Amino acid sequence: MSGLPDRSVNIGRLHLKNPIMTASGTFGYAEEYATFVDLNLLGAIVVKSITLKPRVGSYPHRSTEVASGLLATIGLQNVGIERFLQDKLPFFESIQTPLIVNIGGESIEEYVSLARSIDQQARVHGIELNVSCPNVRRGGMHFGVDPEVLRELVSQVRQVTGKVVIVKLSPMVTDIRPLAEICQRQGADAVSLINAPIGMAVDIKTRRSRLGKNLTGGLTGPAIKPIALYCVWRVCRAVDLPVIGIGGISCLEDAFEFFIAGACAVQVGTWNFINPRITQDIIEGLERYMVEHHIKNLSELRGTSAEQVPKVR
Ligand SMILES: Cc1cc2nc3c(=O)[nH]c(=O)nc-3n(C[C@H](O)[C@H](O)[C@H](O)COP(=O)(O)O)c2cc1C
C-alpha cells in the first residue's frame, strides 16, 4: 500500500481516480487539450454537448467578457452524434480516463435516441443530460425548469441506458431542490450543477446587446461561483445522490469550497480558457494538500460546512 491519500470518488457505479472533471463545452472533444494536460490524470472528461444532427451554432458575437466572468452563446455548435462516434470517439481509445458524453435535444425523443446510440459504446462511461436546451414543443421552455417534462425526460432516458446518468441542472428556477429530487426518483445516478444562468451585457454607445443578434448568453466563470455553491449546498441537503459542483472554479481552493458544501466531485469550465492546464494543476495541488494536511480521503472534507444561522442580537 502506498501512503498516498485516496482522492477517488464514486458516481453511481463509476469509479473516478480523483474528483476533477472538465465541464461540457469548455474542453472541446479533449484532443484539443492533449498538448496542455496529461488527459490520463483527469478524474473524468465531459465533452461538448452532442445533438442528433450537427449544429453550426449562434451568429457572432458569441461571447463577451464581463466583470469576473464570460457571457457566451455558442448555440450548441457540435458535430452531431454520427460524426462524434466516427471521428471523435476513436481518440479516446488512446487514453484511460472515463468519458462522459453530454447530450442535448429539442424533444424527449431526441434525448432518448442519443442515449440509445451512446449506450452501445463501450468506451463511454456516462451520459450527462444538458437539460438547459429549449423544448420546441413547449415554446422553447427549457427541459430542466418544468418538473413534469424533467420527470418524463429522466425516466425515459433511464429506461434505455445502463450507463451512469448525470442530470445537469440549471439555476434559473425558484427552488432547485424539487428538480434534483425528481432526478433521484427517476433513477439518475447523479446531478451536476450549475449550468450557466442567463445574462445580458449592453454596449452603451450602440445601445445594442454586446452579443449582437443573440441578445443574451450564459454567464460563467468566477462571477457565478457563489450562486453555484448555494445551489450545491441546497441540493446536497435535499437528495441522496452524488452532487457534482460546477461554476467559477479557478483554483484548488475553489474546488474545496464545493467539497465542503457537499459536492463529491467538481467540473472546471471557463478557467480552461485562461489556463488550459488548470485541471492538472488542481489535481496535483489536491494531492499535495491532502498529504500536508493529513487528509486520508475526501469524505473527511465533504459536507463539512458549518450551518448555524448567526443569532441576531
Ligand atoms: C463557451 C462555453 C460553452 C459551453 N457549452 C456547454 C455545452 O455544450 N453543454 C453544457 O451542458 N454546458 C455548456 N457550458 C456550460 C459549462 O459546462 C458550465 O456549466 C458553466 O460554464 C459553468 O462553469 P464555469 O463557471 O466553470 O465555466 C458551456 C460554457 C461555456 C463557457
Cell 458575437 maps to which residue? 61
65: CB partners within 8 A, 6+ apart = 71
Centroid of chain to Cα 107: 21
pTM above 0.95, yes or no: yes
For the cut 70, the answer to whether the pLDDT of residue 167 exceeds it is yes
Q: In angstroms, what is the span from residue 198 Cα to ligand 1's centroid?
A: 12
Residue nearest to atom 28 of ligand 1 (CA): 25
Q: In angstroms, what is the span from residue 49 Cα to ligand 1's centroid?
A: 9
311: CB partners within 8 A, 6+ apart = none
**What does the pLDDT look like over 20-29, one tens digit per residue?**
999 999 999 9
Ligand 1 contacts (CB < 6 A) are 23-26, 48-49, 70, 72, 74, 76, 102, 130, 168, 195-196, 220-221, 224, 246-249, 268-270
Q: Which atom of ligand 1 is nearest to the CA of 267?
A: 26
Assign 135 to helix, strand or coil. Answer: strand
For the cut 70, the answer to whether the pLDDT of residue 2 exceeds it is no
Cell 433521484 maps to which residue? 184
pLDDT average, residue stretch 167-184: 97
**Alpha-carbon span 91 to 34, nearest angstrom:** 11
**What does the pLDDT look like over 186-214, one tens digit per residue?**
999 999 999 999 999 999 999 999 999 99
Residues tagged active-site: 133
Q: Which atom of ligand 1 is nearest to the CA of 195?
A: 19
1 pLDDT band (50/70/90 cuts)?
very low
Residue nearest to atom 14 of ligand 1 (CA): 25
Q: In angstroms, what is the span from residue 110 Cα to ligand 1's centroid?
A: 21
Q: Which of 22, 26, 77, 279 to mutate to test the pocket of ligand 1 (most atoms within 8 A of CB)?
A: 26
Q: Facing residues of 192 across strands?
A: 168, 244
Please give the grid coordinates belonging to residue 124.
463511454
Q: In angstroms, what is the span from residue 311 Cα to ligand 1's centroid?
A: 38
